[in-house]
């Protein structure tokens, strides 16, 4: 018997309400999306603005209501969980957004930022917590002397590393990344992608990576899901889609920016 996936979405439909009493029923923002994310693998969800990828992500995070369909998270019926059960289940998720500076408090030190989720879970401050916090920062490529800095003192790449470390604090099984490299320089993008690849291997993480840039996500994804105007138009193993995309839209995404610089995935010595 095969292992249950970390995340399974079936026939998910998301529809925003029309404006006005007699407004026509709008087309779904997400029209019957289905996919499986195996444990320890990365799924890239790709599409341009208006493709439905953000609506799909927000529904998975329980930030948008779902018209129909199902979401199973590590064997649980994710859409039916209530209050305490939902709060406990959320600990299985680590979320990293595009702009880390919007999620890192400028008033707190990095040590205090990393301690927040642990304290909220009821853990006590002390030597064990300080050791864990320093370990999280080290795992994300920053030395311990960063613990007393504040977010305003960090570069974009350093701030994103702190955001990743905080998302890892409660040891989630699934990490969700919403355009985590799009605001970074190309060389820093490569460093962050290297970091994610290392964390996936060392921690056995499952990852959901949402982006408009197919070339970037193809470097680290085991599978790809391509969306356009609310529809899933292509879904499969990354190497197969990149080698022989079935849809013209996917071919356009692969060729977008050809001739421009893209992140080169390799090991780098110094985090920025």
- Give the model confidence (pLDDT) of 193-230 as tens digits: 999 999 999 999 999 999 998 988 888 999 999 999 99
Show Cβ contacts of residue 114 under 8 Å, excluding neighbours closer than 6 positions.
133, 136, 137, 147, 162, 165, 166, 169
What are the domain boundaries of the chain?
A: 1-92+172-267, 104-171
- CB of 32 closer than 8 Å to CB of 11: yes
Determine whether 11 is exposed, middle or buried from the number of CB atoms within 10 Å of its CB (0-12, 13-18, 19+): exposed
Phi, psi of 2, deg, nearest 5? -75, 155
CATH class of 1-92+172-267: alpha beta
Q: What is the mean pLDDT of residues 25-44?
A: 94
Three-point CA angle 61, 117, 211, nearest 5°: 35
Is pLDDT at 163 greater than 60 in this prediction? yes
Identify the three-state secondary structure at position 236. strand
Is pLDDT at 145 greater than 50 in this prediction? yes
- How confident is the model at residue 17, as a pLDDT? 79
**What's the chain's average pLDDT?**
89
Q: How distant, in Å, are the alpha carbons of 74, 126, 174, 181, 227 from that of 135?
A: 26, 14, 19, 23, 37
- Least Cα distance to 43 among 264, 270, 272, 221 occurs for 221
Distance separating alpha carbons of residues 199 and 89, to the nearest angstrom: 21
Three-point CA angle 206, 212, 214, nearest 5°: 70
Q: Bridge partners of 43?
A: 208, 223
- Give the model confidence (pLDDT) of 5-34 as tens digits: 999 999 999 998 766 666 677 889 999 999
Show Cβ contacts of residue 194 under 8 Å, excluding neighbours closer than 6 positions.
265, 266, 267, 268
- How confident is the model at residue 4, as a pLDDT? 85
Determine whether 82 is exposed, middle or buried from the number of CB atoms within 10 Å of its CB (0-12, 13-18, 19+): exposed
Distance separating alpha carbons of residues 60 and 249, to the nearest angstrom: 25
Q: Quote the percentage of the chain above a pLDDT of 70.
A: 91
Kindly state the DSSP code that residue 102 receives in the 8-state scheme: G
Is pLDDT at 174 greater than 50 in this prediction? yes
- Measured in residues, the chain has a length of 272
Distance separating alpha carbons of residues 238 and 24, to the nearest angstrom: 38
Q: Identify the band that residue 185 occupies on the pLDDT scale cut at 50, 70 and 90.
A: confident
């Amino acid at each position: 018997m095969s292992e249950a996936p970390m995340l399974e979405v079936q026939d998910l439909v998301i529809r925003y309400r029309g404006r006005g009493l007699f407004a026509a029923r709008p087309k779904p923002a997400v029209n019957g999306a289905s996919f499986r994310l195996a444990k320890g693998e990365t799924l890239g969800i790709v599409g341009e603005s208006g493709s439905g990828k953000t609506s799909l992500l927000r529904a998975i995070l329980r930030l948008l209501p779902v018209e129909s369909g199902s979401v199973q998270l590590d064997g649980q019926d994710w859409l039916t969980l209530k209050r305490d059960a939902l709060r406990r289940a959320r600990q299985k998720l680590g979320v990293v957004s595009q702009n880390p500076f919007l999620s890192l408090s400028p008033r707190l030190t990095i040590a205090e930022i990393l301690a927040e989720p642990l304290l909220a879970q009821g853990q006590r401050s002390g030597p064990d917590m300080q050791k864990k916090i320093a370990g999280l920062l080290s795992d994300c490529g920053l030395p311990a002397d960063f613990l007393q800095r504040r977010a305003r003192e960090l570069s974009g790449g350093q701030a994103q590393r702190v955001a990743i470390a905080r998302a890892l604090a409660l040891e989630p099984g699934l990490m969700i990344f919403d355009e985590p490299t799009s605001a970074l320089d190309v060389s820093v993008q490569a460093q962050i992608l290297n970091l994610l690849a290392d964390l996936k291997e060392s921690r056995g993480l499952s990852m959901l990576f949402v982006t408009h840039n197919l070339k970037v996500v193809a470097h680290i994804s085991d599978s790809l899901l391509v969306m356009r105007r609310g529809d899933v138009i292509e879904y499969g193993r990354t190497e197969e889609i990149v080698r022989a995309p079935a849809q013209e839209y996917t071919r356009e995404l692969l060729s977008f920016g050809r001739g421009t610089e893209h992140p080169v995935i390799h090991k780098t010595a110094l985090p920025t």
